Structure 1
Amino acid sequence: MLTTTQSHSSPPAGLHPAVAPSLAKWHAMIERRDLGGLGAITHPEVVFRSPMAFTPYHSAPALELALKTVLQVFEDFTYHRQLASDDGLSVVLEFSARVGDKNLKGIDFIRFDETGRIVDFEVMVRPLSGLQALGAEMGARIGQPLTAYKGHV
């Protein structure tokens, strides 16, 4: 079962005690558009699952590179809803954004460990036209550097 919250100003009920502060830090960083504190809430071997690639990326630097770049690419980024898993260690964040003239909707699936660090971050995006615009822009900016992290464990 998932617990839903419409706004990120109040966390979903049932979050693990270590996850709630990390999720609040995440939202604060997104609002400031500054991910300088990401390392404090990310496991060094975090797994990042991009909507553009089947093979995941393994490492905090890969996640940081992708997220810092997407913050530059996305326009009008807004989180709409957040849901928490029964164990309180996972959240689902629904968002919308624009890339150029393409609107998109997406979901961030974030799994935390018992210390509140992100261990898995998966992104899904629709529609295809929005995903293609995102992929083209991200590829042009970080395609080669991000590929170096693919599949490394």
Structure 2
Amino acid sequence: MRNLSLAPAAAQSLDTWHTMIATHNMDALDGIVADDVVFRSPVAHTPYPGRAAIGLVLATVNQVFEDFRYHRSFVGDDGHSVVLEFSAHIDGKALKGIDMIRFDAAGRIAEFEVMVRPLSGLQALGAAMGARLGDQKHVLRGA
């Protein structure tokens, strides 16, 4: 088995990401995402393009998750991708999930995809996010 590690620039962005999550402060997000970043939500069929969309989604989910905690991470063979396993609660529902992040050559987040289970946790997440983002669909579409 090989010992895989992230490229240095990607590792630095990931460190910034973990600091933002720990402090509940997303101010540094813009500096670690690519201009053409794409976010894939576990509750939407269509990806959300751009910095504004990912900023809105991640800031909002950071508010709705309770007891959020990362448990493990897995680095891809290319040194530019990582999977982060997490757990959280929303409205009394426990959930587990993964963040799949791909970094570009400069170490900025190019793709961010989230998967969540079980269905009851996913439904609670969808309801909480929908209640907060319902009037922001234009931002999520990249407008």
TM-score band by shorter chain is over 0.9
User: Which of 24, 35, 39 is residue 26 of structure 2 equivalent to?
Assistant: 35
Equivalent AA in structure 2 for residue 107 of structure 1: I
User: 1:109 maps to which residue?
Assistant: 100
Residues 22-81 of structure 1, C-alpha deviations (whole Å, 9 max, x = no match): 110100110001010000100121000000011101011100100000111000000000
Runs of 4+ off more than 2 Å: 149-153
Q: Is the 8 A contact 1:2 1:83 kept in 2?
A: no
Question: Aligned partners of 2:94, 2:44: CA distance in 1, in Å?
Answer: 20
User: 1:148 maps to which residue?
Assistant: 138
Q: Is the 8 A contact 2:10 2:107 kept in 1?
A: yes
Question: Aligned partners of 2:67, 2:92: CA distance in 1, in Å?
Answer: 11
The structure in which a higher percent of residues are helix is: 2
Question: Aligned partners of 1:85, 1:149: CA distance in 2, in Å?
Answer: 31
User: 2:118 maps to which residue?
Assistant: 127
Equivalent AA in structure 2 for residue 72 of structure 1: Q
The aligned length equals 143
Residues 85-135 of structure 1, C-alpha deviations (whole Å, 9 max, x = no match): 011100000000000110000100000001010000000000000000010
Among the aligned pairs, what percent are the same residue?
57
Equivalent AA in structure 2 for residue 60 of structure 1: R
User: Which of 68, 78, 87 is residue 78 of structure 2 equivalent to?
Assistant: 87
2:39 paired with 1:57: no
Q: Is the 8 A contact 1:2 1:86 kept in 2?
A: no
Q: CA deviation at 1:17?
A: 1.6
- In 2 relative to 1, CA 97–78 (structure 1 residues): closer, same or farther, beyond 3 Å? same
Equivalent AA in structure 2 for residue 148 of structure 1: H
Q: CA deviation at 1:143?
A: 2.3
Q: Secondary structure at the match of 1:51?
A: coil
Q: Is the 8 A contact 1:48 1:57 kept in 2?
A: yes
Gaps (5+ residues) in structure 1? 4-12
Equivalent AA in structure 2 for residue 123 of structure 1: V
Equivalent AA in structure 1 for residue 40 of structure 2: R
Question: Aligned partners of 2:28, 2:54: CA distance in 1, in Å?
Answer: 13
User: Which of 119, 126, 130 is residue 139 of structure 1 equivalent to?
Assistant: 130
Question: Aligned partners of 1:2, 1:27: CA distance in 2, in Å?
Answer: 24
